[in-house]
Amino acid sequence: AAAEVMTLLTGDPFFPGGMGEFHAPQNEFLVFEEGPSVDVTLQWATYRDASDQTSLSRIWGGIHPPADDIPGRLIGEKLGIAAFEKAERYFTGLIDGDAPPENVIVKVYPNPCVKGELLTVDLNQLTDGISVEIYNILGQRIQFSTLLPNLSLQQIELDGNALSSGVYFLRIKGTGWESTQKLLMLR
């Protein structure tokens, strides 16, 4: 499930930079027993690779029976996609079947954005009462700005210097509408 969520969240099945790594130092990683007997660095190209390795380690460690492995992976794929779609509805405010706003089109660029670049939010029409909220992937609001309520705008520029590398969600609200856009910040 986590591999599906990460793929949908980042828009890419591969770890950033093409390789994910985890280092387990000798006899310092396991809490319940000694191990590993030597320093170990695990590497995966995709989130699915990491998930497959985790499944195998649970079997080898006696945590899960082998008979549950393949059915668990198939269910995990479905649950991961469903969980992401449900969470996305919370972020975009589409709970209880509310229709998305069709009259305002929002474009955020550059995306991905490199730290130091100005982030531009383009609207397809003049809009007033605009506020911009930025959330991290934990759902915590980390930035909020309300622009003058009587000011009509079609373009907003945001300074991305305060954002570290990662995935963010921009919630842009105007009078009678709102839109949530995914943003990837790079160093």
Per DSSP, the residues of 133-164 read EEEETTS-EEEEEE--TT--EEEEEEEGGGPP
DSSP-derived letter for residue 46 is: B
DSSP-derived letter for residue 14 is: B
Is 135 within 8 Å of 91 (Cβ atoms)?
yes
How many C-beta neighbours within 10 Å does residue 116 have?
9
Rounded to an integer, what is the distance from CA 140 to the centroid of its chain?
12
Domain with CATH 2.60.40.1930 in the chain: 100-186
Q: Does pTM surpass 0.75? A: no
pLDDT tens series, the chain, 187 aa: 889 999 998 889 999 999 999 999 999 887 778 888 999 999 999 999 998 888 888 787 778 788 877 888 888 889 888 888 888 877 776 655 444 456 778 888 899 998 888 888 888 777 777 888 999 988 899 887 776 555 556 777 887 788 888 999 999 888 778 888 999 999 7
User: Would you state the structure tokens that stand for residue 59, as one six-digit string?
Assistant: 């079997």
Superfamily of domain 100-186 in CATH is Macroglobulin (MG2) domain (2.60.40.1930)
Q: What pLDDT is stored for residue 1 in this prediction?
A: 84
Name the 3-class secondary structure at 40: strand
